[in-house]
Amino acid sequence: METTQLPTVPLGATGLPITRVGFGAWAIGGGDWEFGWGPQQDQASIDAIHRALELGVNWIDTAAAYGFGHSESVVGRALQGLERRPYVFTKCSLLNDGSGRVVHNLKRDSILREAEASVRRLGVDAIDLYQIHWPNPEADVEEGWAAMAELKEQGLVRHIGVSNFDVEQIRRAQAIAPVETLQPQYSLIEREVEAEILPAALKDDIGVIVYSPMGSGMLTGAMTRERVEAMPADDWRKSDDWFTEPQLTRHLALADRLRAVGERHGMSAGAVAVAWTLLNPAVSGAITGFRRPDQVDPIIDAVWLTLTEADLAEIAGDTDASASANANANADADADV
């Protein structure tokens, strides 16, 4: 498989040189679990992974919870026979209660079992980055993190990180072993982490990879009311607040603004949404989910996109500021002639 080159940045103190965009494998877990995305064809998933790798993406983020092992198995199949495999990141602590619903477990023995099972499904000798998926039950954060440190000492995982932790929970973990990475939700729709969590990660050199930078599909430019209504019953988004009123109207208007900005740059609304998250100095990379190979190219463009002040003002809905920034840019251009 021939690949192109994409720019890389260090993932915090891990030293891993990751591309600014990675392949997110949540949706390819299918719909047969509590937070599934509806029916998914495994071959389409594998083709999407291969297309992302061809374009230069060098990391995949998955989790044991995605389809309760199915996503990891599909990723493992996609990696078979590759001359050079990407970095593989996965997560632990969410288990199947037997009915397809999630239960949380941070007990040592459970995490050790999960890691061994993930290694088998992925077909790797070691997991490049292993992450606690959620800090629940919160009383067990220390036990869970000690187990993660143990796995790193054993060599079954190379680096350890956390997902969805707040600053206080990160500090508790750091008292046991360094927290190397953080995976928070971050997008134009969900910006809560800007206040404390991202600044703290930047200060401590914790590598940050953000999930749902396109608002779980809402900001791709392809979402419509009709598409939301037609979502299958086993797609978790169908009843989520982001995809229902009163938020639906507001988010579709935001997607329209992203589409307009993208058209000026010859790029998709989704690429603009992803590029916006990459502007934050704490963010090393964005996790982007693909279910088909044709979805990959328009989003990978985000790594080449530089948003202007006018773009950012338009995205924010500040039409006056956008017009002013465009006028200033035109004046500068005239002066350079």
Give the residue numbers marked as catalytic.
Answer: 66
Tokens of 22: 């990675």
Q: How far apart are CA 128 and CA 116, in angstroms?
A: 13
Cβ-based neighbours of 199, under 8 Å, separated by 6 or more: 282
Tokens of 254: 């935001």
Q: How far apart are CA 332 and CA 337, in angstroms?
A: 9
88 CB-contact burial (10 Å; exposed 0-12 / middle 13-18 / buried 19+) = buried
Tokens of 14: 């891990």
Q: Of 296, 92, 134, 282, which is closest to residue 214 (Cα–Cα)?
A: 296
Asked if 184 and 134 touch (Cβ cutoff 8 Å), the reply is no
